[in-house]
């Protein structure tokens, strides 16, 4: 099964949303409180077989006068769902162009639409809808289970037991034998229960172990059914998965979550719809990568053999997880103005974002992004941002949802426009040695992307050295020699008559007299050499340069350097 369309009205922070996922693997990202979990909650509320209780807080702005209406259109349907005995008469068509019509035509994919409505009575109503069929048809929780939806949110430990409604219970089937054995077990305690000798329980435990391992759960021994004493009452919930004799619910959070996901997924034979909220919880980076890789691999194998592919829709705040998605199926959720928001889901991520996912994926979690032109600028601005909190009540830019990222030189304009199209507030920080093209300026202005640059055809090195005092130049040279060694003198000497290693070691304030050149000329030479040799074009070196640049800017507050830094600071703290 795959969700083709999700329409949400008046549910929590969403007034109206119409999303058509175009991928079998979807990753929703965005800043906190942007609505990512709400989107998963909406899909789960419609397709999950369990009953959902609603309150006033589930209505947009807590206003119950406007009903909650959520519609989910699902394709890649199982035979059971398409049968005339069930919902065949309510079948609709999902077109190759990605639209829905009530009268299916040749080439359309069979689809069903389930609607959940909640009015001021707070009583939810689930229905199958199709205008062609006339009146909607009520759908039971048993029928909703046929849509094969799995939700992994926090830590749902009930699925690690044979409790009523758990996946293990459904995998096992008839538990009459287990119930009888439980009565005996409580008399003879754990060792007498011999639950591992019940074939249905042992088989379910064995399958659960295999699926958990596939997703990267740590298994110390082997999964077996065991009795958990000390629980109140006596029921099938007293039987739980054990790993090497230890209840699995006592394992680490990551292992519990992966085991739960594997168990739920295994219970659905035909292409599950898997919703995962913040996949990174409790997982080390290698297990995040492994779990995502396995989920994708399962879909690839299913597609290869011509079976149901299913769908994964996950959210994440992890740059590791984001980088592993690779950009395909990435969607950005943005609701910075919920009072005006119509849909929190921005367009699918375009091509320029792929490069960003390689070098700075964490920037995608920000609300406000300063795109710097290159490695010098991103390193320098990353370091300079550390100077700002004392000027803003101790707040770093990250606390305001702001980030600095590399625009890869001439790709900065394209990246900034792509980020702006996804709903981010974006500005560009660049030097001015190569002017923007008129068409780029027009596009940036139309998209309301501000550009901060030095002007006067200055590159970053020139902007720094041109206003640096003699003492500051000396400090900058000392830092450059620390990073680049004797190459500094070796490259400066041919351009400054009479310079050698001995004379170069003299304070910069004495250079003008020693080499018969003005201070301005010497500054130009130094800046030209450093720029040509790309000595500052390294993010680490640029970051180390930041304290020296800040000192220069503070001593020359009206310089192009200081004014450009101040404008960037003001924008990031807006």
The secondary structure of 378-428 as a DSSP string is HHHHHHHGGGSGGGGTT--GGGGTEEEEE--GGGHHHHHHHHHHTT-EEEE
Task: Point out the domain boundary residue: 267, 289, 313.
Answer: 267
Angle at 205 between CA 199 and CA 206, to 5 degrees: 85
Residue 190 to residue 213: CA distance in whole angstroms: 26
Residue 336 lies in a domain: no
Measured CA to CA, the distance from residue 248 to residue 211 in angstroms comes to 14
Give domain status of residue 343, yes or no: no
Q: Is residue 155 part of a domain?
A: no
In a domain, 435, yes or no: yes
Task: Count CA within 13 A, CB hemisphere, residue 380.
Answer: 28
pLDDT of residue 179: 52
Residues 6 or more apart in contact with residue 206 via CB below 8 angstroms = 222, 223
Phi, psi of 372, deg, nearest 5: -90, 155
- Residue 197 — φ and ψ, nearest 5°? -90, -5
Inter-residue contact 341 to 333 (CB < 8 Å): no
Between CA 386 and CA 404 the distance in angstroms is: 12
**Triad 407, 408, 414: Cα angle to 5°:** 55
Residue 305 shares a structural domain with residue 244: no
Per-residue pLDDT of the chain (574 residues; tens, 9 = 90+): 899 999 999 999 888 999 999 888 899 988 777 788 899 999 999 998 888 889 999 999 899 999 999 999 999 888 888 887 788 888 999 999 989 998 888 888 999 999 999 999 999 999 999 888 778 999 988 888 888 888 876 555 556 666 655 666 666 655 455 555 545 544 454 455 567 777 878 888 888 888 788 878 878 888 887 766 554 444 445 667 777 777 777 777 777 777 777 777 766 666 788 898 888 888 888 888 888 888 888 888 787 877 788 898 999 988 888 888 877 788 888 765 444 445 677 666 777 888 888 888 888 888 899 999 989 999 999 999 999 999 999 999 998 889 999 988 888 999 999 999 888 899 999 998 888 999 999 999 999 999 999 999 999 999 999 999 999 999 999 999 999 998 988 888 888 867 777 677 788 888 877 887 888 999 999 999 999 999 999 999 999 999 999 999 999 999 999 999 999 999 999 8
50 with 124, same domain: the answer is yes
Does one domain contain both 554 and 412?
yes
Whether residue 408 is contained in a domain is answered as yes
Whole-number Å distance between alpha carbons of 331 and 315? 10
Expressed as residue numbers, the domain containing 301 is: 2-148+281-330
The number of domains in the chain is 3
Asked if residue 344 is part of any domain, the answer here is no
Please answer whether residues 91 and 104 qualify as being in contact, where contact means their C-beta atoms are separated by less than 8 angstroms.
Answer: yes
- Predicted local distance difference test score (pLDDT) of residue 154: 54
What is the bridge-based pairing of β-strands 68-75 and 109-118?
antiparallel
First to last CA, the chain: 44
The span from the CA of 319 to the CA of 11, in Å, is 29
Q: Quick check: 356 and 415 in contact, CB under 8 A?
A: yes
Tell me the DSSP string of 361-372. Answer: GGGGG-SEEEEE
Domain presence at residue 506 = yes
Looking at the structure, tell me whether residues 140 and 47 fall in a common domain: yes
Of 267, 302, 321, the residue at which a domain comes to its end is 267
Residue 128 phi, psi dihedral angles, 5° rounding: -90, 130
pLDDT at residue 341, rounded to an integer:
46
- Pairing state of beta strands 345-348 and 330-333? antiparallel
**Per-residue model confidence (pLDDT) at position 523:** 92
pLDDT at 238: 62
Assess whether 221 and 308 both reside in one domain.
no
Do 241 and 290 have their domain in common?
no
Phi, psi of 460 (to 5 degrees): -65, -40
Same domain? For 479 and 508 the reply is yes
Report which of 79, 78, 38, 30 is spatially closest to residue 57, judged by C-alpha positions. 38
Same domain (yes/no): 93, 203: no
From residue 447, alpha-carbon distances to 11, 333, 414, 573 in Å are 30, 19, 12, 20
Do 60 and 197 lie in one domain? The reply is no
293 shares a domain with 252: no
Residue 275 within any structural domain of the chain: no
Q: Do 433 and 541 fall into the same domain?
A: yes
- Give the H or E element holding residue 15: strand 14-19
Out of 267, 296, 314, a domain closes at 267
Residues 289 and 432 occupy one common structural domain: no
Backbone torsions φ then ψ of 159, nearest 5 degrees: -75, -5
> Would you say 134 and 257 are in contact if contact means Cβ atoms under 8 Å apart?
no
């Amino acid at each position: 099964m795959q969700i083709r369309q999700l329409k949400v009205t008046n549910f929590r922070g969403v007034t109206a949303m119409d999303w058509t996922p175009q991928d079998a693997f979807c990753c929703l990202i965005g800043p906190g409180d942007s609505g990512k979990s709400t989107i998963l909650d909406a899909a789960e509320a419609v397709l999950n077989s369990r009953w959902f209780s609603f309150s006033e807080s589930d209505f947009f702005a807590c206003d119950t006068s406007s009903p909650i209406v959520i519609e989910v259109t699902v394709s890649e349907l199982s035979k059971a769902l398409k049968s005339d005995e069930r919902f065949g008469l309510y079948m609709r068509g999902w077109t190759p162009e990605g639209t829905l019509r009530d009268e299916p035509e040749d080439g359309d994919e069979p689809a069903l639409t389930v609607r959940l409505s909640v009015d001021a009575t707070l009583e939810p109503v689930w229905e199958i809808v199709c205008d062609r069929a006339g009146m909607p048809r009520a759908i039971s929780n048993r029928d909703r289970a046929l849509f094969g939806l799995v939700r992994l949110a926090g830590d749902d430990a009930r699925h690690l037991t044979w409790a009523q409604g758990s996946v293990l219970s459904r995998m096992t089937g008839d538990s009459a034998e287990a119930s009888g054995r439980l009565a005996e077990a409580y008399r003879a305690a754990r060792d007498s229960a011999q639950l591992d000798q019940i074939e249905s329980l042992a088989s379910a435990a064995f399958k659960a172990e295999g699926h958990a391992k596939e997703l990267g759960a740590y298994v110390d021994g082997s999964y077996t059914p065991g009795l958990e004493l000390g629980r109140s009452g006596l029921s099938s919930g007293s039987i739980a998965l054990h790993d090497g004799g230890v209840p699995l619910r006592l394992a680490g959070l990551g292992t519990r979550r992966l085991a739960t996901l594997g168990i739920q997924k295994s219970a659905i034979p035909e292409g599950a719809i898997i919703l995962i909220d913040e996949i990174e919880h409790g997982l080390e980076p290698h297990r995040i990568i492994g779990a995502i890789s396995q989920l994708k691999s399962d879909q690839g194998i299913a597609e290869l053999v011509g079976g149901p592919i299913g769908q994964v829709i996950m959210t994440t705040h992890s740059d590791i997880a984001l980088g592993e998605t690779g950009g395909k199926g990435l969607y950005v959720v943005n609701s910075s103005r919920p009072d005006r928001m119509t849909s929190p889901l921005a367009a699918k991520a375009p091509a320029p974002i792929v490069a960003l996912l390689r070098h700075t994926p964490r920037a995608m979690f920000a609300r406000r992004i300063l795109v710097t032109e290159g490695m010098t600028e991103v390193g320098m601005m990353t370091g300079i941002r550390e100077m700002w909190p004392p000027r803003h009540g101790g707040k770093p830019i990250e606390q305001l949802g702001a980030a600095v990222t590399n625009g890869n030189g001439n790709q900065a304009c394209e990246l900034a426009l792509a980020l702006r199209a996804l709903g981010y507030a974006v500005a560009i920080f660049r030097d001015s040695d190569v002017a923007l093209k008129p068409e780029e300026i027009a596009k940036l202005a139309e998209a309301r992307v501000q550009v901060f640059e030095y002007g006067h055809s200055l590159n970053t090195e020139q902007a720094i050295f041109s206003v640096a005092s003699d003492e500051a130049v000396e400090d900058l040279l000392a830092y450059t020699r620390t990073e680049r060694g004797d190459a500094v003198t070796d490259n400066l000497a041919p351009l400054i008559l009479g310079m050698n290693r001995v004379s170069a070691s003299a304070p910069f304030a004495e250079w003008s007299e020693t080499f018969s050149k003005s201070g301005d000329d010497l500054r130009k030479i130094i800046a030209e050499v450093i720029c040509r040799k790309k000595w500052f074009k390294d993010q680490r070196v640029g970051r180390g340069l930041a304290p020296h640049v800040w000192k220069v800017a503070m001593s020359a507050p009206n310089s192009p350097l200081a004014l450009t830094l101040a404008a960037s600071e003001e924008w990031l703290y807006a």
